[in-house]
Structure 1
Amino acid sequence: MTESLEEDYPEAAPYIQQTVAEHGEDWVLEHYYEELYPLGVLMDMPEKDELPFYDDTEHETMTEDERVEMYQAWSKYRENLHTGAKPDG
């Protein structure tokens, strides 16, 4: 992890470092929005393209609208689990 990431995101950097150590950089990039980015509720998190091992020629990011849609779908899914409701459709 670079010093810049540790300086800019002092709370998040240890979580990112630990996850990279456990799973590797490719896994972190593939699962970033599902596994790490939601920690942004608790602390400042870098955007995926701010990670020092992100390469825009090999990886993609989600737009804000795509992230909102994904998190709304997860919220609806959790609500359906909680209430026992079946999905629309």
Structure 2
Amino acid sequence: MSEDLEEEYPEAAPYIRKAVNKHDEDWVIENYFPKIASLGVVMDIPPVEELPFYDEEKHDVLSEQEKRERAEAYREYRDNLRNTNPGGK
């Protein structure tokens, strides 16, 4: 991984490096949302396009509209979990 990423995102870079070591670079790109991007709640994370191994000709990423739709779907899912009565009563 590039030193620039380490300098610009010192908290997130170790998590990204660990995911690359455990899986591989393609897995990180394919699973960036929500597996890694969810770290953005507690720390600055780079956009997937800033990863040093991202290749725009090889990898597809979510558009802004797709990101909004995914976030809305997760919100609805969480709301549904909160409002579902365990035990069926």
TM-score by length of 2: 0.88
**TM-score of the superposed pair, with normalisation by structure 1:** 0.88
Identity of aligned residues (%): 49
In the TM superposition, structure 1's runs of 4+ consecutive aligned residues that sit over 3 Å from their partners are none
Cross-structure match for 1:82 = 82
Q: Distance in 1 between the 2:21 and 2:76 partners? A: 32
Q: CA RMSD in A?
A: 1.2
Aligned pairs, number: 85
Unaligned runs of 5+ in 1: none
Distance in 2 (CA, whole Å) between partners of 1:46 and 1:73 is: 23
Larger radius of gyration: 2
Deviation at 1:76, TM superposition (A): 0.5
Q: Select the structure with the greater relative contact order (CA < 8 A; seq sep ≥ 6).
A: 2
**Residues in 2 aligned to 1:14 and 1:22: alpha-carbon distance in whole angstroms:** 12
Per the TM alignment, residue 52 of structure 1 is displaced from its structure 2 partner at its CA by 0.6
Unaligned runs of at least 5 residues, structure 2: none
